[in-house]
Structure 1
Amino acid sequence: MLATVLAIAGTLLGSIVTGLFQHASAGRTEKTARREQHRAAQLEAITALAVAISDHRTAMWVRGDARLKGDPEDRVRELQTRSHATRSAVTRPLVALRLHVTDQAVREAADAMVGATYAMRDAYTSTDDLTRARAAALAAHDRFVDVSAQYLQIQSA
């Protein structure tokens, strides 16, 4: 009789311990999944912003070049419309970056990149000015990518 009681108690205790281990394991799995999902959202926000600002930088270059070369006014207006669309396309990934990445260095690099690209509009005075503004925007873009890559590597460590 005592052996039966001990066997039942041992079985119950084993079940409880197994349940506790399974619960802890499920919690770790869920936490890991949330962390991976957050990292994927960060990577998407960073990548989408880099692509959107690249598209806008190209549109600003083409628009400025057309204006400086004296292209017809309707062509310049068409390029202006395109550059407005690419600028608008920067907003969504910039907001996503602000929501998913709290690192100050990444945010500052993003702001510098966006600001340098937007500043190309003020460089429509000469081809040299436009070229310098484009080079500054490209350098800011590269810095943003480098700072973001460093941040993501630290996060995954």
Structure 2
Amino acid sequence: MVTALIAVAGTLLGSIVTHVFQRMTADRTTRQNFADRLRQDRLSAYNAFAASAIEYRHHQIERWHRLRQNPDTEVTARSESYSKKVELRSELVRVKLLTSDPRIQDLADHAIEAIRAIQRSGVAPASPEDHAILMKKANNAIEDFVAQAARDVQAHEQKQLSQRR
């Protein structure tokens, strides 16, 4: 009888311990899968934002040149510019939804403003020298965003690797 009770108690204890370890493993796997998915989503959002920023910057540069050649193209150029800016702002929303890092959000906002400054609607085109300075500022703003986004993605990857060990 005592032997049977010890066997039953051992079986129950073994079942409980197995359940606890399986639950811990499942929880860890769920956390890792979530972190991996979030990292991939951030990488995708950062990439899409940077690509859209580069496209908007290119359009603003092109707009500046068109307006210098023919100021009557302002209405068409402005409409196209707004379209590119809307696409970029859409990507900005995605970035802000996926990161809580205020530095990345600030750099994204700064990039948009730097690009917008290349050719603001209703403002006479700047001199070629001023235009070159504005282009450089926009390029630097995009590069600063990309550098910070890369650090964010890589930091999360390093954290994941250290947790898996």
TM-score category, normalised to shorter length:
0.7 to 0.9
Q: CA deviation at 1:78?
A: 3.6
Q: Please say if residues 68 and 126 of structure 1, whose CA atoms lie closer than 8 Å, have aligned partners that are also in contact.
A: no
* Structure 1 spans left out of the alignment, 5+ residues: none
Counterpart AA for 2:150: A
Provide Cα deviations, 1:36-95, integer angstroms capped at 9, x if missing partner: 222222222211211111111111111111111237x45x54433322211110111111
Residue in structure 2 matched with residue 85 of structure 1 by the alignment: 83
Q: Which moved more, 1:12-21 or 1:125-134?
A: 125-134
Q: Which residue of 1 aligns with 2:59?
A: 59
Show the counterpart of 1:121.
119
Per the normalisation by structure 1, the TM-score is 0.87
Which residue in 2 is equivalent to 1:105? 103
Overall identity of the aligned pairs, in % = 27
* Structure 2 spans left out of the alignment, 5+ residues: 159-165
Which amino acid in the other structure matches residue 64 of structure 1?
A: W
SS at match of 2:117: helix
SS at match of 1:102: coil
Aligned to 1:15: 15
Letter in 2 for 1:106: I
Query: Contact (CA 8 Å) 1:68, 1:125: kept in 2 or not?
Result: no
Amino acid aligned to 1:39:
R
Equivalents in 2 of 1:156, 1:67: separation in Å? 45
Structure 2 partner of 1:139: 140
**Correspondence for 2:163:** none
- 1:110-146: CA deviation from partner (whole Å, max 9, x where unpaired): 1221110011114723333222211210111111111
CA distance in 2, matches of 1:66, 1:41: 37
Q: Which letter maps to 2:79?
A: T
Letter in 2 for 1:120: I
How many pairs align?
155
| Runs of 4+ residues deviating >4 angstroms | none
Distance 1:13 1:118 in 2: 67
Q: In 2, Cα distance between the equivalents of 1:126 and 1:2?
A: 97
Q: What do residues 7-39 of structure 1 show as CA deviations (whole Å, max 9, x unaligned)?
A: 222112111110111111111111111222222
